[in-house]
Amino acid sequence: MIGLGRFCDCMKVRYRPTNLKMTISGQVREFITSNFYVPHPQALADTASLLEAGVIDSTGVLEIITFLESRFGLKVNDDEVVPDNLDSIERIAEFVARKKAGSGGV
Amino acid sequence: MTPSLVHQFVRHSAEQTPLATALIEPGREISYADLNGLCNRVANLLLTKGVHRGDRVVLALKNCIELVACYFGTMKAGAVAVPLPPGPRSDRFAHVVEDCSPTVCIVDTPTAEEQAAALCGAPVVLVHRNRNGSSGNGKHADPETRPDPVQRPQIQSHSDLRDALESVSDTEPDVRMIGSDLAAIIYTSGSTGAPRGVMLSHLNIVANTESVVTYLRLSHADRVMCVLPFYYVYGLSLLHTHMRVGASVVIDNRLAFPNAVLQAMTEYCVTGLAGVPSTFALLLHRSSLMAMSFPHLRYVTQAGGPMPPARIREWLEKGPPAPLYVMYGATEASARLTYLEPRELSAHMGSIGKPIPNVEVIVLKEDGQQAGPGEVGELVARGSNISRGYWNNPEDTRASFGPFGFRTGDLGYADADGFLYVVGRRNDMLKVGAHRVSAKEIEDVLSEHPAFHEVAVVGAPHDILGEAPVAFVVLREGQGLDTEEVGEFCRRRLPSHKLPVGVILRSEIPKNCVGKFDKGALRQAAREVIRTSHRVARTRTRHPSDRMNGPETTSNSP
C-alpha cells in the first residue's frame, strides 16, 4: 500500500528525502511544501500561520509531528502541540532548535 | 413574540438581552445588540446590491463574527444563505456557484484568489480580508515573490466587505417573509458524486431549533465551544440553538491544536461542548484533557456519524463529568433527528436514542412495510424540520423524499423499547470525520489519472476520523507508478478529508455478478491490508523515493 502523506499511524508518510545540509527551517519548509497543498510555495512566508492559510488541518498537524519526530529524533509531547510551537515554519524551526538544545517547547 | 424566522433569533435576543455576549473569538467578542446591528448592515448592503427575496448569497468564510452576521443578514434581506467551505481546496465551489447562481458571493481572500474563475460568473463579489489584513499566505509574505496576478483569472470587480458595510445603515430592513421561504441551502455529497443542495426553509430550521433547545435545556446562561464549521449543518445547529436562547457561542478554529481549544474552554467558562467522533478522538489522544478541569461544563453533544462504543466509554472514563448526549441527524433534517438521553447511555450503548420532539422516525423494510422490533430496514423520518428536497435536482429529490418521509440512507433497527440503532448504509457513502463523502466522487477524480485503469474506493477504519478512504487501483498495462506524483495528483484535486489514506495496487478488482465492484470484499481487504501495514511499519521503513512498478506483492492477498 502507498501512503499518500496524510496519516501517520498506519501508513508511511511520503516525503521527499530532505537535504541534511539544509537549515532546520529549510527542511521544515521543504516537508510542508512537498506534502501539503500550497498553491504558491514561494509566497508562503516563514511567519505565516499554517492553519490560517489553510495549509494544515488537524491531521496535518499530526503529520508534521511525525515528521519532526522521525527527522530530528524528538518526542513531541501532547502539551507541546500548541500554535506557539507548530503554527508556522519559523515557529516549528525554533521549537525544534529548542528541543534539540534540551530546553523544550513553549 | 417567539421567533418564526431564523434571523429573528438574533433580533429577539438583542431585544431581550442587548448587552449579553453573542459571539466570542479568541481576543474579540460582540454583544447581541451589536451583532443585530451588523446583521442589519449586511442586509441593507445586499439590498443595495440588488438582492431580492429568494436570491442566493454564497458565503465562503472561515467561522468568524462576520460570517455569522452575513448568514443572518442574508436572511434579513429575504435571501437564501449558501454557506460553503472557504479556501483554495474546496472542490465543490465552482459546481455550487454554477448550480445555485448566486446574486452575491461573500468570500475570504484565499477563496477570492484561488476560486477567481468560478467567481467571475457572480454579479457581485464581496471580499472579507482577515483581521490582520493579510492574504491567506500570511502577512509577511514577500510581495516580490507573490505570483504574477496576470497569470490567474481575475474577478471582474469586487468590493471590500468591511468598507462596504461602513457605508450602509444598521437599521432593520423591512422585508416581508413567511416561514416556508427558503432560509439556507446546504450542499452535501450525493451518492452519485455531485454535491446537492439541501433546501432548508425558515420553518424547517426554527422547528428543529426549538426541539434541540428543549431537550438540551439550553438557556441564556449557556456558552458553547464551537469548533465545527458553519458550512456544516451541525455547526449551524449550534449557532441557531444558542442564538435562539440568547446564549454565547465561542468560535475557535484551532482544533488542530486541541490544547488551545481546551485552554479557551477554561478561559471563557464554557458550559457546552459539541463534537464529531474525530473531535473526541483528538481531545482524548492528542491533548492534555485529563490534566485540565472544566467546572462550568454542563453538557457535551456528539453527532456527525457513529462513535464506537469503546470511544464513548473512554470519553466517559477520561473526559469531563458533564453528561454526554449522543445524537443523530442529517442535513436534510436541518440537523437533528434523534438523541439518546445521557441517563440511558450505559444501558443502550451504541444506540442513537429516540426521535427528538416533533420528529417521527420509522424503520422501513425493502417491501415498504414497517419493520418490527429488531428487524433491519431503512430509517425514514418525518417532521417540520425535514427539507422539501434538493435545489435544482428533482431526480434526487424524488429518490430521497417519498410518501413515508425522508429516506436517510441509513440501515438500522429499533429494539423492543423503541431505541434506534444504525447498522450500515444503503448506498456507497463514507463518513470521514464529520463529512459525508461519496466513494464515487473520489473514484471519479482518481480515474482521471493516466496510469489508472480501474479505481474503487471504500472506507477503512481510522483511529482519528473513524473512517477514511482507501483506493484499490489497477494500473494500465505497462504503466508504473510514482508514489509522490500520485500523492501530488490527489492533493491538487481533493480536499484533505477526501484524500485516500492509501492506494492498494491490484491486478484486478473483485466484482459481483452484475459486474459492479464487490465493495464488501474490498472493505474486508482494506481492513486486512491496514492491519498488515501496522506490522510492516514497525519492522521496516520503505525508502521515500521508492518507485513502484506493477502490482505490489504484499497487497495481492485478498
Judged by CB atoms closer than 8 Å, whether chains meet at A4 and B500 is answered as: yes
| B52/A contact by beta carbon, under 8 A | no
Say whether residue B182 is in contact with chain A using an 8 A CB cutoff. Answer: no
In chain A, which residues have their Cβ closer than 8 Å to the Cβ of B465? 59
Question: Which of B 466-505 lie inside 8 A of A, CB atoms?
Answer: 468, 470, 481, 483-484, 486-487, 490-492, 496, 499-505
Any idea which fold A14-103 has? 1.10.1200
Beta carbons of A49 and B499 less than 8 Å apart = no
Put the strands of the sheet holding B354-355 in their side by side order.
B28-31, B21-25, B248-251, B223-226, B272-275, B299-302, B324-330, B335-340, B354-355
Average pLDDT over residues B503-530: 80
Asked whether the beta carbons of B232 and B412 are under 8 A apart, the reply is no
Q: Can you give the pLDDT at residue B192?
A: 63
Size of the A and B interface in Cβ pairs below 8 Å: 167
- Name the H helices within B286-428: 309-318, 394-400
Which of B130, B463, B554 minimises the CB distance to A52?
A: B130
B143 at A interface, C-beta within 8 A: no
B259 with A78: Cβ contact below 8 A: yes
pLDDT of amino acid A89: 96
* Structure confidence by residue, pLDDT tens digits, B316-370: 999 999 999 999 999 999 999 999 999 999 999 999 999 999 999 999 998 999 9
Q: Choosing among B64, B140, B257, which should be mutated to test the A contact, i.e. which has the most A CBs within 10 A?
A: B257
The grid cell for B293 is 478541569
B89 contacts: CB under 8 Å, gap ≥ 6: A37, A54, B494, B495, B496
Shortest distance between the Cα of B261 and any Cα of chain A, in A, equals: 10
B436: nearest Cα among B254, B212, B206, B190: B190
| B101 φ/ψ sector (left φ>0, alpha ψ -120 to 50, else beta) | left
Instruction: Supply the mean pLDDT for chain B.
Output: 87
Predicted pLDDT at A87: 94
Any idea which of B67-71, B166-170, B423-427, B443-447 has the lowest mean pLDDT?
B423-427
Flag if B88 and A54 touch (Cβ within 8 Å): yes
Which pTM was predicted?
A: 0.83
| A43/B145 touch (CB, cutoff 8 Å), yes or no | yes
Neighbours of B293 (CB within 10 A): 10
Instruction: Find the radius of gyration of the CA atoms of chain B.
Output: 24
Please identify which residue in the block is written with the cell numbers 539544509.
A22
Question: Model confidence at B495, in pLDDT bands (50, 70, 90)?
Answer: confident
Chain A CA closest to residue B286: A78
Asked whether the predicted pLDDT for residue B451 surpasses 50, the reply is yes
**ipTM for the whole complex:** 0.77
Please determine, for residue B131, whether its predicted confidence score (pLDDT) is greater than 80: no
Of residues B253 and B489, more confidence is placed in B253
- Rounded Cα distance, B297 and B222, in Å: 9
Q: What is the chain A residue with the closest CA to B526?
A: A1
Q: Which segment of A25-29, B85-89, B147-151 scores lowest on mean pLDDT?
A: B147-151
Using the beta-carbon criterion (under 8 Å), do B464 and A86 form an inter-chain contact?
no
Percent of chain B with pLDDT over 90: 61
Question: What is the rounded CA–CA span in Å between residue B7 and residue B80?
Answer: 11
Query: Could you read off the pLDDT of B40-56 as tens digits, one per residue?
Result: 999 999 999 999 999 99
Could B464 and A45 be called an inter-chain contact, meaning their C-beta atoms sit closer than 8 Å? no
pLDDT of residue B318: 95
Beta strands in B87-172 (DSSP E): 104-108, 124-128, 158-160
Reported confidence tier of residue B84, pLDDT bands at 50, 70, 90: very high
Q: Say if residues B137 and A53 touch (Cβ distance below 8 Å).
A: yes
| Residue A6 to residue B141, Cβ atoms within 8 A | no
Residue B179 cell numbers, joined:
416561514
**Closest in A1, A5, A59 to B464, CB measured:** A59
Question: Crossing angle of helices A58-72/A89-100, nearest 10°?
Answer: 40
pLDDT of residue A95 exceeding 60? yes
- B130/A4 Cβ within 8 A: no
Contact B503 A4 (CB under 8 A): yes
Collect all residues with Cβ–Cβ distance below 8 Å to B193 and sequence separation of at least 6: B438, B440, B441, B443, B444
Helix (H/G/I), strand (E/B), else coil: B93:
helix
CA distance A41 to chain B (A): 9
pLDDT band at A2 (very low <50, low <70, confident <90, very high): low
Say whether A56 and B110 touch across the interface (CB within 8 A): no
Label the pairing between strands B248-251 and B223-226: parallel
| Contact yes or no for A48 and B484 at CB 8 A | no
pLDDT at A14: 46
Record the cell numbers describing residue B337, joined without a space.
Answer: 433527528
Residue in B256, B481, B492 nearest the CB of A51: B256
Is B540 exposed, middle or buried, given 0-12, 13-18 or 19+ CB atoms closer than 10 A? exposed
Which residue from A minimizes the CA distance to B144? A43
Cell 479505481 identifies what position? B455
In the 8-state DSSP scheme, what is residue B513?
Answer: T
What's the distance, Cα to Cα, between the start and end of chain B in Å? Answer: 63
Question: Could you tell me the CA-to-CA distances from A73 to A70, B104, B539 in Å, in that order?
Answer: 5, 51, 18
Residue of A nearest to B502 (CA): A3
| Per-domain residue ranges of chain A | 14-103
- Determine the Cα–Cα distance for residues A71 and A62; give it in Å rounded to an integer: 14
CB atoms within 10 A of CB B454: 17
Residue A36, all three cell numbers: 501539503
Dist CA B184 CA B199 (whole Å): 6
Contacts of B158 (CB under 8 A, 6+ apart): B112, B119, B124, B125, B126, B127
Of the candidates B495, B491, B434, B538, which has an alpha carbon nearest to the alpha carbon of residue A9?
Answer: B538
Checking if the pLDDT of A50 tops 80, the result is yes
**Residue of chain A minimizing CA distance to B138:** A48
Nearest to A43 among B130, B137, B490 (CB): B137
Residues of B in contact with A79 (CB under 8 A): 259, 288, 291
Give the minimum alpha-carbon distance from A88 to chain B in angstroms, rounded to a whole number.
10
CA distance A71 to chain B (A): 13
- Contacting residues for B472 by C-beta, under 8 A, at least 6 apart: B455, B456, B457, B458, B503, B504, B506, B509, B522, B525, B526
